[in-house]
Structure 1
Amino acid sequence: MHKITEKIFGWSYPIFKNLDFDETLSSYLSLFVNVLLLSILSYTIFLASRYFLVRFMIALARKTKTKFDDLLVSNKTAKYTAHLIPLLFIYKSVPIILQDFVYWETIFGKLVGIYIVILSLWIIKTIFNALKDYLKQNPSFSDKPIDSYIQVIMIVLWVFGFVVIVSKVFDISTGKMLGTFGAISAIIILIFRDTILGFVASVQVSLNDMVRIGDWITFDKFGADGDVIEINLATVKVRNFDNTTTTIPTYSMISDSFRNWRGMINSSGRRIKRHILIKANTIRFLNKSELEELKKIQLVSSYIENRQMEIDKFNDTHQIDKSILINGRNMTNFGLFRKYITQYLYQYPGLNKEMIVLCRQLQPTPHGIPLEIYAFSSDKRFENYEYIMADIMDHIFASIQYFSLEIYEMPSGKSDFII
């Protein structure tokens, strides 16, 4: 390589000397010719390299089944590599062209060397970007924080590249530079604190399977409620259901509490848990005439008959005085309503009957007796889930009057009479 460059750039100086130019003028004229020649040759080498490398990469991508080489093409790896070949040619040619200009040879040689280091790192970055895109297309890695790992590797490479550049500029050995970096490691840790915390968090999030790309999470502290679209070294991006994007620091995923809905999505149903407040003074025992009227409600008709036979048998056996309803065993409108809602839930088509289906009474409050619905919707999609839950609650609100019960409502302060 050295002999070839000498032949290419060593012919002009003797020609100018033979033309009786003085040594200084011959050197400058030779420099001008060689720089012009170097520019032309470098650009030609670049065009040829780009043409053959890009064509070769495209042809290779078409013939192979793997998509990795296709991603190398889309990330322009061959194009950036084509820049490297003429740069290496320039780097080898500079000492010959500028052999009579030692000062400029040193400066220009260092600049070319720095550019080669930066371009090499950029080529490595395009390869890693292609690798990242390739792994994200693989179902096994699609939900892993690949971005975080690649960013850490690139940070290490950029730091190493910075060390090489500084050692070239100031003519310091790489070993001494690394020793200097070790001495100022505390400052480096302080500067890259968020990056280090993000990397540790990314590893913990991945190993503990706390969150994946595509998970629906709720993070009240940051106002996030939506799907995770990206996990990288510093941030986790969440696309909220109103199509806004929330950015969360990665280390917050392990330092703060958030809700991941993956378990619900992977389960057989989505939980419905709502309650209404029943006025306590509307709860009472039911007499026989009222029970006869309630038998017209098909969902509890057979239950009332069977339950009444059991209660009458008990009261007769123990000779209970039924002139007052409180004596012995009785049915209440509240208990019968709970039974009715339970039967209604079991026959409702939108619920998963293999999971818990429950209508229960909660601890009394100053505002009334809570009656809670606890069941699981078969359809977990948001809009269908909300429809199923509203449909059930609508029926409860409409049916409660048939059992002579009332729902508690805060007094509005306005008169109920219109004058």
Structure 2
Amino acid sequence: MEFIQHWLVTLGVQADIAFYLTNTIMVITIVLLSIAANFITKKVVLRIITHYIHKKRFKWDTYILERKVIHKLAHVMPAILIYYTSFLFPTYQSWIMKGIVLYIIVVALQVLNALLDTINDIYLTYEISKVRPIRGYIQVIKIFIYLIGGILLISNLMGQSPLILLSGFGALSAVIMLVFKDSILGLVAGIQLTSNDMVRVGDWIDMPKYGADGNIIDISLNTVKVQNWDKTITTIPTYALVSDSFKNWRGMQHAGGRRIKRSVYVDMSSIAMCTPDMVERFKNIHYLRDYIIQKELEIELYNRDHDIDRSSKVNGRALTNIGVFRAYIQLYLEHHPKIHKDMICMVRQMQPVETGLPVEVYAFTNDVNWAVYEGVQSDIFDHILAVAPEFDLRVFQNPTGHDLKSMLKTEEQRERQYA
């Protein structure tokens, strides 16, 4: 700088003006050098590194490029150049160095943030990430890093040791606990969820309290995101999955069977003992032929051994249309290709109610896909409702407008007949 200033004075420039011109020239030179350093780093060095990374088989370095870890790190080069040339401006050297240190701390925070995101991206490529997600832990580390970065920034501005600021955190612990309450609860809940394997990304959960019914798409420090079946997204606090109850359908999906538990209500006035004509008609039903023959033999032997007087239907044992109907449904389910053969399959009667006698189907489909399951369930009950009249049974249904119109028409016809 002295050389440039002396050279300007020899050219006839006044000493004061030469001093300011010298400083201006040096500032412009440093700026140009910084731009050149930034250009060389990003356009030359980074291109070489990128080309080298793309040629390798490993994927982890590709994530480093996607998160721009090296790009952010490249911002340090111009700062280092300015830092080591700050002695040229002794009047402003302390301010320049302080500003550069602040800048480097900010860049370092950005680099560490991108690096942690890269670690999470690499971890997500492994199957264990669905069982043991680490995003919550990554966020905790980020919080600590930003706290430390904030302390360093403040201490650098104040010109004090960071230890002085840290000593004051004891008095602020209550405030810190209040501010980071959700994060602390989320951290503890995340550890419990992970260690107990309560939920994973991709699990179908049902949590009516929060209106959540769908698949988990993200587990973070503070929230769990659930994409509902209507494609809306419900956000649940992480600690709520520990403090409140919810249903996880993962067991059903892994078991390979999805439960059908639905009833048909039979009008109890249509239940009756089977007549010989009904029995002969039931023998023509493919699934029932062997059952009817076996039951007839069993009933005949029982009544004969116990000397039962069959002149009254009340005495002894006999087939009923509701019993044959229940047996038919059981055999129909056992032969159904979509019913799981290794899980419970039964047809049972429930407690009679004012709407009739519930005949419940309790079985499992061998396909857990929602659409397939609903289709199988609908097909089964379509068939049950359609064949009920073949057993002289009526499915209970409250009177409708059509029923009332039919009654009125019948009454009108009677009146005309007697008129």
Normalised TM-score (structure 1):
0.91
Distance (whole Å) between structure 2 residues aligned to residue 168 and residue 88 of structure 1: 17
User: Which one-letter code corresponds to 2:96 in the other structure?
Assistant: F
Distance (whole Å) between structure 2 residues aligned to residue 117 and residue 197 of structure 1: 29
Query: 1:233 matched to which residue of 2?
Result: 221
Query: 2:123 matched to which residue of 1?
Result: 135
Query: 2:251 matched to which residue of 1?
Result: 263
* SS of equivalent residue, structure 1 residue 372: strand
Asked if 1:187 is matched to 2:175, the reply is yes
| Cα contact 2:130–2:202 (8 A) shared by 1 | no
In the superposition, relative to structure 1, how do residues 46 and 10 fare at CA in structure 2: closer, same or farther (>3 Å)? Answer: farther
**Cα deviation digits, residues 223-268 of structure 1 (max 9, x gap):** 2222211111121122222222222221211122222111111112
> What aligned pairs does 1:372-387 form with structure 2 within 5 A after superposition?
372-387=360-375
Distance (whole Å) between structure 2 residues aligned to residue 279 and residue 288 of structure 1: 22
> What aligned pairs does 1:8-407 form with structure 2 within 5 A after superposition?
11-16=3-8, 25-94=17-86, 96-99=87-90, 101=91, 104-407=92-395
Distance (whole Å) between structure 2 residues aligned to residue 53 and residue 386 of structure 1: 59
Query: 1:4 matched to which residue of 2?
Result: none
Percent identity of paired positions between Structure 1 and Structure 2: 36
* SS of equivalent residue, structure 2 residue 57: coil
Shift of 1:18: 6.0
**Cα deviation digits, residues 328-383 of structure 1 (max 9, x gap):** 11221111111000000011111111111111112222322211111111121111
In the superposition, relative to structure 1, how do residues 347 and 54 fare at CA in structure 2: closer, same or farther (>3 Å)? Answer: same
Unaligned stretches of 5+ residues in structure 1: 1-8
* SS of equivalent residue, structure 1 residue 182: coil
Shift of 1:129: 1.5
In the superposition, relative to structure 1, how do residues 303 and 109 fare at CA in structure 2: closer, same or farther (>3 Å)? Answer: same
Normalised TM-score (structure 2):
0.91
**Cα deviation digits, residues 111-149 of structure 1 (max 9, x gap):** 222111011110111112221111111122244322212
Shift of 1:97: 3.0
| Cα contact 1:57–1:69 (8 A) shared by 2 | no
Distance (whole Å) between structure 2 residues aligned to residue 296 and residue 205 of structure 1: 57
Distance (whole Å) between structure 1 residues aligned to residue 15 and residue 171 of structure 2: 50
| Cα contact 1:287–1:325 (8 A) shared by 2 | no
| Cα contact 2:257–2:368 (8 A) shared by 1 | yes
Distance (whole Å) between structure 2 residues aligned to residue 93 and residue 203 of structure 1: 49
| Cα contact 1:54–1:73 (8 A) shared by 2 | no
| Cα contact 1:143–1:214 (8 A) shared by 2 | no
Unaligned stretches of 5+ residues in structure 2: 410-419
Shift of 1:310: 1.2
Distance (whole Å) between structure 2 residues aligned to residue 163 and residue 33 of structure 1: 36
Query: 1:6 matched to which residue of 2?
Result: none
User: Which one-letter code corresponds to 1:98 in the other structure?
Assistant: F
Distance (whole Å) between structure 2 residues aligned to residue 167 and residue 46 of structure 1: 29
| Cα contact 1:136–1:143 (8 A) shared by 2 | no
Comparing 203-212 with 24-33, which one deviates more in the overlay? 24-33
Query: 1:3 matched to which residue of 2?
Result: none
Count of aligned positions: 407
User: Which one-letter code corresponds to 1:134 in the other structure?
Assistant: I
Distance (whole Å) between structure 1 residues aligned to residue 352 and residue 280 of structure 2: 29
Distance (whole Å) between structure 1 residues aligned to residue 287 and residue 396 of structure 2: 25
* SS of equivalent residue, structure 1 residue 345: helix
| Cα contact 2:263–2:358 (8 A) shared by 1 | yes
Shift of 1:304: 1.2
User: Which one-letter code corresponds to 1:155 in the other structure?
Assistant: I
Distance (whole Å) between structure 2 residues aligned to residue 174 and residue 24 of structure 1: 42
* SS of equivalent residue, structure 1 residue 89: helix
**Cα deviation digits, residues 78-124 of structure 1 (max 9, x gap):** 21111111112212322x1320x2xx444333222211101111011
Distance (whole Å) between structure 2 residues aligned to residue 85 and residue 289 of structure 1: 99
